[in-house]
A and B are shown apart, each in its own frame.
Chain A
């Protein structure tokens, strides 16, 4: 993990002082609401439906056991004893007191954490693959580049007041686990024919009101030019992005308005001026940051553990969990474990202080003291010895982390919705729960197989409904909550946006609609097909007909 040096610590500490002082001026009436707003947002502080909400950054998803314990302590001391893992590799506290936020930030700073730029019209927390560094299909570890971007974007003086929020994702594996194509800037780490590392640069993706898949503006950007190229893209956006209408202010609208070719020309022209300046990365700096993500001291182990094979044969429940929640690791004898934060009856991504502490202990015991947060709102222990999987699974059961549903229908991505969020048109958590309750038969879930079901409580699409194989969007109709259903979205490297099935449904009808969609899939699939594959082959029509068919 990246460990702060004196410079990093100074910057974070000075931020705490600055925000404490800003909060005092606000409370003393010296700063108007409108003036405090962008300042507090750039520190992750929202004023929500019931209370302020504080969003804490988990840069590129990496979190240590010490940090997990601090998050637990803060949840207990300043909040109601739990935290929410969001879809942006962030953690949210739903009930802090405004007056206490500077103290919370001071506590976070003691474990090298902060809430910098987790909201507001600035460059947000950079996200990546939760399996970064351990995935077998990876070209190079993306985390050092994410940390380099984190430092560059932190208090970037030119880009603190952009037209709108700005999100960057980095992916380095064949399989895109970071929804890279639906970010303002998506970066694919690639190697060219000469074996040099660089980036494929994708701009203008995004969800929300105008969902779009990003377009490639540069096939290969040598790694040393990463930051100057980002400067160029951001400068073009800052100068020419629309500011008259917040719904048309994202970079995707600018790219669309200019056309990819002209937009690219502008970026390249800007970059020509700055490309070889002091911002050009040095190999020494890349090496320095990379050294923080050094390989843990893995043991030399056989590729497959005999003991594990026996345990899998003996215990079908363990086998179930193993099939679903454990992924292959690039080092022989090790596995990647995902703790499900989606048991039925708990808001997706919610974790109690006790659970956080238990996760911290398990992380120390089984995974070198580090965990990762996924944008699917789960927790990953990335370096577990195969021989340890059985005891880890047993402990995970005790703490509610062992629901064997990763990647399945009930592993729902879900925003906090109308229960917490001031923007929401409709609740989303009860819909997730109703679907989880209806489809609680594990055999059936496994038979259905890989399926992304995403729920958002409003057009802002925090629940990424556009890129769910099935996406659900809460809409408001004359003060009543309804749900629009989409099918065919996908967040991977073959990203696609879902299509709306038809008229929306009342809350009670949603689980039934899902059942009908699944029935079409089960009837029409070929043995190898996932739901999304069948949809892509047969189109929306059969799904539509089944769902809207009149009852006989």
Chain B
């Protein structure tokens, strides 16, 4: 089974990612599924009776706003990074967590590499499907690049200037 970094640990990935929606006349694969955003929005009935858990993945150009209404029903939301240089997913992560209050697993998928993990974690991602050709144990180290940060973000809602102040008081 493929591996996943989740909550700073390496675990088995027990979700199957469906890159495209299965045809309407085909049965759904068994087990936990990650299905495309548009498919989930259009064909929710189809997933209601599914045996496994169903999560949604969206691409970097898609609008996380579309999930807002039903966000708490989702166990997993995955955001695709088509290239590691495509930074839209960072904004999507913050919006899902900070604006829409998503509390479940937020997973980075696609071109996910060690040197991006620290930023992703700050933007609310707590799970990382590391690119298949890379060592996941090595990637785990990427979460520890810095012990201190300036800005407010999901992992640290108080910017350093406010924490400095509290320290001084």
Contact between A11 and B150 (Cβ–Cβ < 8 Å)?
yes
| Minimal beta-carbon separation of A32 from chain B (angstroms) | 10
Is B39 among interface residues, defined by CB-CB distance under 8 A? no
CA distance A389 to B140 in the complex (A): 58
Q: Which residues of B contact A156 (CB under 8 A)?
A: 150-151
Q: Chain A, 224-253, contact with B by CB distance < 8 Å: what is the 0/1 string? A: 000100000001001100010000000000
Contact between A121 and B85 (Cβ–Cβ < 8 Å)?
yes
CA distance A284 to B159 in the complex (A): 14
Is B115 among interface residues, defined by CB-CB distance under 8 A? yes
Contact between A278 and B91 (Cβ–Cβ < 8 Å)?
no
Q: Chain A, 148-187, contact with B by CB distance < 8 Å: what is the 0/1 string? A: 1001101111111111000000000000000000000000
Is A344 among interface residues, defined by CB-CB distance under 8 A? no
Contact between A35 and B123 (Cβ–Cβ < 8 Å)?
no
Q: Which residues of B contact A15 (CB under 8 A)?
A: 146
The residue that B146 contacts in the complex, of A11, A39, A162, A238, with Cβ under 8 A, is A11
CA distance A257 to B150 in the complex (A): 33
Contact between A157 and B123 (Cβ–Cβ < 8 Å)?
yes
Q: Chain A, 364-398, contact with B by CB distance < 8 Å: what is the 0/1 string? A: 00000000000000000000000000000000000
Contact between A278 and B123 (Cβ–Cβ < 8 Å)?
no
CA distance A279 to B160 in the complex (A): 10
Is B145 among interface residues, defined by CB-CB distance under 8 A? yes
Q: In the complex where A39-B115, A157-B123, A161-B86 touch, is A11 in contact with B91 (Cβ < 8 A)?
A: no
Is B118 among interface residues, defined by CB-CB distance under 8 A? yes
Q: In the complex where A35-B113, A278-B158 touch, is A155 in contact with B146 (Cβ < 8 A)?
A: yes
Q: In the complex where A22-B115, A161-B90, A238-B91 touch, is A154 in contact with B161 (Cβ < 8 A)?
A: no
| Minimal beta-carbon separation of B65 from chain A (angstroms) | 11
Name the residue among B84, B94, B151 with the largest chain A CB count within 10 angstroms.
Answer: B151
- B133-163 contacts to A, CB under 8 A, are 145-153, 157-162
Is B107 among interface residues, defined by CB-CB distance under 8 A? no
The residue that B88 contacts in the complex, of A121, A151, A239, with Cβ under 8 A, is A239
| Minimal beta-carbon separation of A231 from chain B (angstroms) | 9
Is A281 among interface residues, defined by CB-CB distance under 8 A? yes
Is A277 among interface residues, defined by CB-CB distance under 8 A? yes
CA distance A22 to B99 in the complex (A): 34
Contact between B84 and A238 (Cβ–Cβ < 8 Å)?
no
Q: Which residues of B contact A277 (CB under 8 A)?
A: 152
Q: In the complex where A157-B122, A235-B91, A279-B152 touch, is A151 in contact with B160 (Cβ < 8 A)?
A: yes
Is B165 among interface residues, defined by CB-CB distance under 8 A? yes
Contact between A285 and B161 (Cβ–Cβ < 8 Å)?
yes
Is B87 among interface residues, defined by CB-CB distance under 8 A? yes
Interface size on A, residues (CB 8 A): 39
Contact between A158 and B150 (Cβ–Cβ < 8 Å)?
no
Residue of B nearest to A278 (CB): B152
Q: Which residues of B contact A243 (CB under 8 A)?
A: 86, 88
Q: Chain A, 194-235, contact with B by CB distance < 8 Å: what is the 0/1 string? A: 000000000000000000000000000000000100000001
Q: Which residues of A contact B153 (CB under 8 A)?
A: 157-158
Contact between A7 and B164 (Cβ–Cβ < 8 Å)?
yes
Contact between B147 and A14 (Cβ–Cβ < 8 Å)?
yes
Q: Which residues of B contact A160 (CB under 8 A)?
A: 87, 90, 119
Q: Which residues of B contact A18 (CB under 8 A)?
A: 145-146
Residue of B nearest to A10 (CB): B148
The residue that B90 contacts in the complex, of A7, A152, A157, with Cβ under 8 A, is A157
CA distance A162 to B149 in the complex (A): 19
CA distance A18 to B147 in the complex (A): 12
Contact between B165 and A285 (Cβ–Cβ < 8 Å)?
yes
Is A81 among interface residues, defined by CB-CB distance under 8 A? no
Is A273 among interface residues, defined by CB-CB distance under 8 A? yes
| Minimal beta-carbon separation of B142 from chain A (angstroms) | 9
Contact between A38 and B85 (Cβ–Cβ < 8 Å)?
yes
Q: In the complex where A11-B148, A151-B160, A156-B151 touch, is A161 in contact with B87 (Cβ < 8 A)?
A: yes
Contact between A11 and B157 (Cβ–Cβ < 8 Å)?
no
CA distance A155 to B121 in the complex (A): 13
| Minimal beta-carbon separation of B94 from chain A (angstroms) | 6
CA distance A38 to B111 in the complex (A): 14
Contact between B158 and A162 (Cβ–Cβ < 8 Å)?
no
| Minimal beta-carbon separation of A234 from chain B (angstroms) | 9
Residue of A nearest to B90 (CB): A158
Contact between B87 and A159 (Cβ–Cβ < 8 Å)?
yes
Q: In the complex where A157-B123, A282-B162 touch, is A35 in contact with B84 (Cβ < 8 A)?
A: yes
Q: Which residues of B contact A279 (CB under 8 A)?
A: 151-152, 159
Instruction: List 11 extra interface pairs beyond A157-B90, A282-B161, CB under 8 A.
Output: A7-B148, A18-B146, A35-B115, A152-B151, A158-B122, A158-B153, A161-B90, A239-B92, A243-B86, A279-B152, A288-B164
Residues of A within 8 A of B (CB): 5, 7, 10-11, 14-15, 18, 22, 35, 38-39, 121, 148, 151-152, 154-163, 227, 235, 238-239, 243, 273, 277-279, 281-282, 284-285, 288
Q: Could you list 16 examples of A-B contacts with CB < 8 Å?
A: A7-B148, A11-B149, A14-B148, A151-B161, A152-B159, A156-B151, A158-B87, A161-B85, A239-B91, A239-B92, A243-B86, A278-B157, A278-B162, A282-B161, A282-B165, A285-B161
Residues of B within 8 A of A (CB): 84-88, 90-92, 94, 99, 113, 115-116, 118-120, 122-123, 145-153, 157-162, 164-165
Give 8 closest A-B pairs by Cβ, nearest first. A161-B87, A157-B122, A157-B119, A285-B161, A151-B150, A158-B90, A278-B152, A18-B145
